Structures are given as structure tokens and as C-alpha cells.
Amino acid sequence: MTAPPVLELARAQVLDRGIGLGEEQVLEVLCLPDEAVQEALQVAHEVRMRWCGPEVEVEGIVSIKTGGCPEDCHFCSQSGRFETPVRAVRLDIPSLVEAACETAATGATEFCLVAAVRGPDARLMAQVRDAMRAIHDAVEINVACSLGILTRQQAEELAQLGVHRYNHNLETARSYFPQIATTHTWDERFQTLALVREHGMEVCCGGIVGMGESLAQRAEFAAQLAGLGPDEVPLNFLDPRPGTPFAGLAPVSTADALRAIAAFRLALPRTVLRFAGGRELTLGDVGTRQGVLGGINAIIVGNYLTTLGRDPQADLDLLQELSMPVRALSETL
């Protein structure tokens, strides 16, 4: 079988020159027939190996404040506006330090503090301040934060505290965002990302595939991320949570998820592309392997925020089997 023209183009443009595919070409990849998916993953894998190398970045996350969020993101079981089984909880500093040490022991280089909030208030900023100091005293690991929409002053303070990377997802295409949240806008999220970059922190920004967006909007989103140029893109697949407005949506099919992985890698040849939530549901064990051989070069170990992930050892064993070394801390500092 001859390769589809878009994959020939991807070899010449993305693999050879490191220039990501544009929106129209990304859409073509998202529309490839099932028979061409393996070849798309193969090209995406070669792109990742050429422009990022074989290392895989391993990251742990911990929720410092779970549930009770005032926002209404329709996919999120942490919104206080929906009747979901998630209850509001805050973690204390010793528990955070313990989680950071456990994460570092897996070989992970990033440890991300996540809070379910619109943006941090004074109490949360004080908790982050204390946590940053205690973690840095206890263990050598990069600390990232995901605390929602920031003010300029908060971005400045987080940078001064030594936050290495800040996560704030655009979640979906700008044109589709009003269908997933009404309490804030895509542009407000974008402004926070600009502040993060301005203050010298690495930008981590991704989203969720399978929230009812069209394939054209999926391609639009990939192109918008490419325009932003984040250091890391967490790629999630919707795991429809009970009680949320998106509870009734069907999970993305495995073939569509694999097309999305290949397409996002071909749009973003140099970024850290991370498997985040929903991969167990959408891809299972076989798909996880295909993803890591199809352009993914970062994983979260252990549990996600409100759903259980895979056993960390299973992921680490898989990386070893595939001869993909875990990226060392010294390479990221």
C-alpha cells in the first residue's frame, strides 16, 4: 500500500525539517482510514525519536485541594456544581512531602501540585509556599503547579518560589470552549499561559479529546497548541464521569485515540507529549504501548486526580522493555 499523501508530507516536513503539520494536514491525519493508523503512528514515533530523543519524562501528581471548585467545566467531577462522588479534601504539608518522596523514588523528575480552583486565593498561595519549601528541603525533584487562573502578582510569586513548570490546559479548541464551560473563557486561560511564560516558568498546556468536538475542532485545537508552543502537552481522553454533564458521552474509540496521538505529535514535533488521564479506558494496555511507540514521550505514574491510573511499575517495566530510558533530573534542571 502506498502511503497516504499527508504522511509523505509529514516525512518531508516534520521528520526531516522539524516543522509541524498545519491545521488542514492535522485534520487529514485525524481522518485517515484504519489501515493507515499504524503508519501514522510509525511516522509520529520517528518524529519523536528524531526531535525529542528516546527519553521518557515521568511525572507524579498530587491533589492539594480536591473537589468543590466553583467553575462548571462539563467534564470535571471536581466541580462543586454537579452531583458527583468527589468530596472536597485538602492535603496537609507532611502528606505532600511524602507523596513527593514516593514520586521521586520511581525515577520521576516532575512533581505537580494540583488544586481544583478557579484560581488560587491567599490561603492556597500560603499552602503552596509552605509545600514548595518543605519539598525542596526533603527531596530533589522539579515542582510544577496547576492552580488555575493566575494574576500577574501570583505568577511572579510562583516563579520566585522556584516553580519549574505551570500547567493550565486550554482543554479544547477555542471555537468549542463555550460548550464545555460557561464560568470562564478560553481567552482567560490563554492569558494565564502568557503570564507563566513571561515569568520564565515552563508552559504545560493540553486538553481533552472526545468531549463532543468535531474532528475539525480537534485539528483546530492542535494548531492552537502549536501556535502557543508549550514545553509540555498533556493529552487526555475523556473519561465520562458520573454526575457531570458529559457523563453520557461515549469514550473515544481506540483507533480515534491513536489517530489523535499521531496527529498531535505531527503538529508538535518538539514538545513533551504526555499521556494523561483516560488512557486506561480508551487504550488499555495494548494502546498504551502503541501510544508510547507513536509519539508519546512522557507519562504520569500512579493515580490521577479523581480516577485510578495504572500501577507505576507496569509503566516503568514497559519503558524498560522498549529501551526508553526515564529522563534524568540533571537533564531537566
Q: Could you list the residues that contact ligand SF4 (CB under 6 A)? A: 69, 71, 73, 76, 78-79, 116, 118, 148
* Cα Rg of the chain, angstroms: 19
User: Nearest distance from residue 71's CB to ligand SF4, in Å?
Assistant: 4
User: Nearest distance from residue 267's CB to ligand SF4, in Å?
Assistant: 23
Which C-beta is closer to ligand SF4: that of 154 or that of 290?
154
User: Nearest distance from residue 24's CB to ligand SF4, in Å?
Assistant: 30
User: Nearest distance from residue 157's CB to ligand SF4, in Å?
Assistant: 20
Q: Give strand pairing partners of 235.
A: 207, 275
Which C-beta is closer to ligand SF4: that of 116 or that of 141?
116
Which C-beta is closer to ligand SF4: that of 118 or that of 197?
118
Which C-beta is closer to ligand SF4: that of 5 or that of 70?
70
Give 148: exposed, middle or buried? Use CB within 10 Å, 0-12, 13-18, 19+: buried
User: Dihedrals φ, ψ of 114, to 5°?
Assistant: -120, 135
User: Nearest distance from residue 199's CB to ligand SF4, in Å?
Assistant: 21
Going from the C-alpha of 3 to that of each of 11, 32, 171, 263, the distances in angstroms are 10, 11, 32, 15
CA angle 204, 132, 59 (to 5 degrees): 40
Q: Give strand pairing partners of 90.
A: 65
User: Nearest distance from residue 281's CB to ligand SF4, in Å?
Assistant: 18
Which C-beta is closer to ligand SF4: that of 145 or that of 292?
145
Instruction: Give every CB contact of residue 204 below 8 A, 6+ residues apart in sequence.
Output: 144, 146, 165, 166, 167, 168, 230, 231, 232, 233, 234
User: Nearest distance from residue 50's CB to ligand SF4, in Å?
Assistant: 34
Which C-beta is closer to ligand SF4: that of 51 or that of 246?
246
Which C-beta is closer to ligand SF4: that of 78 or that of 271?
78
User: Nearest distance from residue 58's CB to ligand SF4, in Å?
Assistant: 23
Which C-beta is closer to ligand SF4: that of 58 or that of 114?
114
